[in-house]
Amino acid sequence: MVVLAPRQLPAELEALAGRIVAALQKEADDFSATGAAPKIELAALQVTRVTDPGNQLPGYEGVWRNARNDRCGTLTINSDNSFFAEYDLFCPHPRDPRWFVEMVTAWGNESSLRSEATLIPAL
């Protein structure tokens, strides 16, 4: 396992990572109160190069941390450039008090990116 400097993904993955972060940010903006969404930044991602056990090719795992150094999000890019990312929100739904927004997620590959918010019932 090799720890890389923030934003030290290979150049060919920078654009993909930027699209992933933009999708997470859009979901966070949609499911947070106006002005309350966290700023999800690629520059803040702490990246580690890992080896895919199935084919021995490099993949990348990244972690976002908050001001208290708690993990608040992750991004995994596999050796085939498929990915999964999540970022914690933990906030009330901005338009429906029956729901609480746990996190936003994004997944897919270079040609297909999907994202959504994970909701849980409010108490």
**10-residue mean pLDDT series, the chain (123 residues):** 61 95 97 89 94 90 95 96 96 93 97 97 89
- Per-residue HEC secondary structure of the chain comes to CEECCCCCCCHHHHHHHHHHHHHHHHHHHHCCCCCCCCCCCHHHCEEEEEECCCCCCEEEEEEEECCCCCEEEEEEECCCCCEEEEEEEEEECCCCCCEEEEEEEEEEECCEEEEEEEEEECC
Check residue 8 and give its pLDDT: 76
Check residue 54 and give its pLDDT: 83
- Per domain, the residue ranges of the chain are 2-121
Check residue 52 and give its pLDDT: 85
Q: Tokens 């150049």 identify what position?
A: 11
pTM: 0.89
Check residue 6 and give its pLDDT: 46
pLDDT digits (tens, 9 = 90+) for 103-118: 999 999 999 999 999 9
Check residue 34 and give its pLDDT: 82
Check residue 53 and give its pLDDT: 82
